[in-house]
Amino acid sequence: MDLSPYETDNSVSCRLASQIPDVCRTEDCCLGIDEAGRGPVLGPMVYGICFCPVSKKPQLKASKVADSKTLTEAERENLFQTLDKAKSYIGWAVQILSPNTISTSMLQRTKYNLNALSHDTAIGLVQYALDSGVQLTEVFVDTVGPAEKYQEKLSKLFPGIEVTVRPKADSLFPVVSAASICAKVARDRVVKGWNFPEDLEEVDADYGSGYPSDPKTKAWLLKYLDPVFGYPQFVRFSWSTAQTLMDSKGVTVHWDDDDEDGEKAAQRQNNRSMLAYFSASAGGNNQNATHQTHRFFTERRLKSLDTL
Amino acid sequence: MATKKKRTPDVQNDSWVVIAADSAIDTKKDDSDPAFVRLRNPTTDAASLYMLSSGDVQLFEVKAFEEDFHSWFVGQNVQRDGRLLFVTPMDPLYLILPYYIKSGKEEKFQPVDQVVMDEEFPACSRLLSCTRSLASLHHIAEEKEVGKLKFHRYSQEKTMNWLKKKVERTVSALKARNISVGEGVKSTTYVRVKSESDCHEEDYLRYAHGLISEYLSEDLSKALLKHLQLPELTSPKETEPPSKKRKLSDKQVEAGEDYTKFNSADFARKPPKKMTAAQKSLSKVDKTGMKTMSSFFSPKVKAEKK
């Protein structure tokens, strides 16, 4: 797996893929989808697909691919080598969603949650396989959110393909296990050799598993908190672990879409009470009391100053 | 989800982001640096910030662009205050004018340094060193020369003519800059195919008058409006429709419904429930097509797994 396309810019989403085996273009194929790194506060989330002709399912099973969580890192690496070597009939692709992509999606003005991001990434990968000419007839997916709804969504998007969405699909279907191995291997390699684009000098690489519950991860997050900027792009800002730390230790930053309520906020935003519109006198009196700045200036947010 | 953030009070900072004309910071002519000065604002009669540069030869006004949720990154620092200050040239006559109007009541010819005096803002005498000040006094006052000394007396007529010219020049500037002066709101980035035909000369005049009035007292602004022969805008109150009142008629009121049926013996009378004021007002509202509050709390068919 050549990670260099991702490492040149690890702030964006990146797709890495094997060559498409010739048989996959002619024979009916099955495809498995799984993800790695959904929960950690550090590093990317990786989506993987693996596909092979339906007739080659027994061979895939014989290679003893299993749910990536039950395997050691070394076993996963070995199994990935096996999959990669069987390039005559097995193809794979991974989509690396950088932590920065996850942060900016979830924290943007119109919120784009992790489930939606996951679904769209999975859909994108299936579409990639179809666009590359893989003759898909069966798709197996490990679920995100309610399985039935997800299955319905995918079936509608890909008519003519039999979609199976199951929880724990990675231990039920070898093709999903294979996909999970591709995803997990990609994530492990990216996290291990993470290129910090920030100028941090010598970075302490001992950040543990990256899961919020890991004390090592927590200690690392505390150490690398910048009061103004927060964290390097390696951290998912949208995770509550990161947010809580930034709220308590960092400088307060206000955005104009922050939820603020109460009278103070209304006053600050210059909102008038609903009642003010119904009383006739209130508006008239105000205008005489203070000079009203011409709209040329108010429209341009320009004010006179009396002190600096 | 967002936690409540407390606003810390604004801290005074010692740096500003300023856009200024080159002439404002030109220190070659004189060894004195440009300086911020507090002077009497002709509109509000309170203090406002101005700038005098290169030995008080030029006057500038200071305006701040200020909007919520802005900060600056300056070099390797963050500046919390996201203000942008503009230092733009200004005609000193606007600031001198109020002093002349005040002394004009005495109807005497006076030397300039006796007129432009202010205990509250002693810096106002520095206005007289501006290149244009003394040379343009004749726009607002009658002049008399006795020997080598000059004396002035405020003239409303001259001032109005001067201000009218200012308005006319502003109108041409507004037109040249394509500034929207009409009632509606227009986007500057939206490219119109049709040429503007709905902009009347009066709109421009009124807008320019409003702009010039930012530098005049309220009385002077009104006088200028008359001088420009612009009618005063009717207050919004008068354009409002008269308040609705139920029409009274002399006809006899007849019952629309027969209530006597409730009087029959078999009609079980329930004591009317007491309603709170909120419930009463709610009962008058049209609630068709609305969900009841309780429907939002009934268990969902299937809770989404996170």
Give me the pLDDT at residue B305, please: 47
**Three-class SS string for A240-305?**
HHHHHHHHHHCCCCCCCCCCCCHHHHHHHCCCCCHHHHCCHHHHHHHHHHCCCCCHHHHHCCEEEC
Q: How confident is residue A42, by pLDDT bands cut at 50, 70 and 90? A: very high
Residue A127 has pLDDT above 50, yes or no: yes
Under 8 Å between Cβ of B201 and B258: no
Report the distance separating Cα A303 and Cα B17, nearest Å. 15
- Exposed (0-12), middle (13-18) or buried (19+): which is B142, by Cβ within 10 Å? middle
Cβ–Cβ contact B49 with A under 8 A: yes
Contact flag B63-A295 (C-beta cutoff 8 Å): no
CA-based nearest residue in chain A for residue B16: A308
B242 to chain A, closest Cα gap in Å: 12
Residue A99 has pLDDT above 70, yes or no: yes
Decide if pLDDT at B237 tops 50.
no
Measure CB to CB from residue B44 to each of A228, A260, A291 and give the nearest one: A291
Tell me which chain A residue has its CA closest to the CA of residue B187.
A299
At A181 the three-state DSSP class reads: helix
Chain B hits for A297, CB-CB cut-off 8 Å, are: 63, 214
Chain A interface disruption, residue of B14, B40, B62, B90, most A CBs within 10 A: B62
| pLDDT number for residue A179 | 92
Q: What pLDDT is recorded for position B287?
A: 64
Average of per-residue pLDDT values in chain A: 85
B252 close contact with A: CB closer than 8 A: no
Q: Where residue A110 falls among pLDDT bands split at 50, 70, 90?
A: confident
Count the alpha carbons within 13 Å of B7 in the hemisphere toward its beta carbon: 13
CA closest to B9 among chain A residues: A252
pLDDT of residue A267: 60
Helix locations, chain A, DSSP H? 4-8, 22-26, 57-62, 73-85, 99-107, 114-131, 147-157, 169-172, 174-192, 215-223, 240-249, 262-268, 280-289, 295-299
A308 in contact with B, Cβ within 8 Å: yes
pLDDT tens digits for range B18-56: 998 887 776 665 556 788 899 999 998 899 999 988 777
pLDDT tier at A270 (50, 70, 90 boundaries)?
low
For residue range A19-41, what is the model confidence (pLDDT) as tens digits?
Answer: 899 889 998 999 999 999 999 99
**CB-based contact A145 B305, cutoff 8 Å:** yes
Burial class (CB in 10 A: 0-12, 13-18, 19+), A165: buried
Mean pLDDT value of segment B190-199: 59
Give how far A108 is from chain B: nearest CA, Å. 13
Do A145 and B66 make contact, defined as CB atoms within 8 angstroms? Answer: no
pLDDT bracket for residue B11 (50, 70, 90): low
A257-278 residues labelled b (16+ CB within 10 A) or e (exposed): eeebeeeeeeeeeeeeeeeeee
- Cβ of residue B181 closer than 8 Å to a chain A Cβ: no
Of residues A274 and A89, more confidence is placed in A89
Quick check: A303 contacting B, CB < 8 Å? Answer: yes
pLDDT value at residue B68: 85
| A255 interfacial to chain B (CB closer than 8 Å) | yes
Size of interface A-B (CB pairs under 8 A): 86
Q: Note the pTM of the prediction, 2 decimals.
A: 0.71
Nearest Cα residue in chain B from A262: B4
Q: B72 near B45, Cβ under 8 Å?
A: no
> At residue B211, what are phi and psi to the nearest 5 degrees?
-65, -45
Q: Check whether A282 has a pLDDT greater than 60.
A: no
What mean pLDDT, rounded, does chain B reach? 78
Answer whether residue A83 shows pLDDT above 60. yes
- Is the minimum CB–CB distance between A264 and chain B shorter than 8 Å? no
List the single residue in A228, A256, A304 with the smallest CB-CB distance to B69. A256
Q: How far is A227 from chain B (nearest CA, A)?
A: 11
Q: Which of B6, B85, B218 sits opposite A252 (nearest CB)?
A: B6
Each residue's pLDDT tens digit, A129-159: 999 999 999 999 988 778 888 899 999 999 8
Q: What does the pLDDT look like over B256-275, one tens digit per residue?
A: 676 666 666 555 555 555 66
A152 and chain B in contact, CB less than 8 A:
no
Scanning every residue of chain B, which has its alpha carbon at the shortest distance from the alpha carbon of A250? Answer: B5
Give chain A's end-to-end CA distance (angstroms, integer): 59
Q: What average pLDDT does range B63-75 have in this prediction?
A: 91
A245 CA: distance to closest CA in chain B (Å): 12
> How many other β-carbons are positioned within 10 Å of the β-carbon of residue A23?
18
Predicted confidence at residue B1, as pLDDT, reads 40
Residue of chain A whose Cα is closest to the Cα of B213: A294
Q: Which residue has the higher pLDDT, A166 or B4?
A: A166
A297 and B63 within 8 Å at the Cβ level: the answer is yes
Using the predicted structure, report yes or no on whether residue A73 has a pLDDT greater than 90. Answer: no
User: Nearest CA of chain B to the CA of A88: how many Å?
Assistant: 38
Q: B150 to chain A, minimum CA–CA distance in Å?
A: 34
User: pLDDT band at residue B154, thresholds of 50, 70 and 90?
Assistant: very high
Q: Which one of A146, A302, A305 has the shortest CB-CB distance to B305?
A: A146
Q: What is the mean pLDDT of residues B143-149?
A: 87
Chain A nearest-CA distance from B301, in A, is 12
The predicted pLDDT at position B155 comes to 92
Binned at pLDDT 50, 70 and 90, residue B306 comes out as very low
Q: List chain A residues with CB under 8 Å of B65.
A: 300-302
CA–CA dist B184, B205 (Å, integer): 16
| Phi, psi torsion values for A303, nearest 5 degrees | -130, 155
Predicted confidence (pLDDT) per residue in A45-60, tens digit: 999 999 999 988 888 8
Closest by Cβ to A306, choosing from B38, B179, B211:
B38
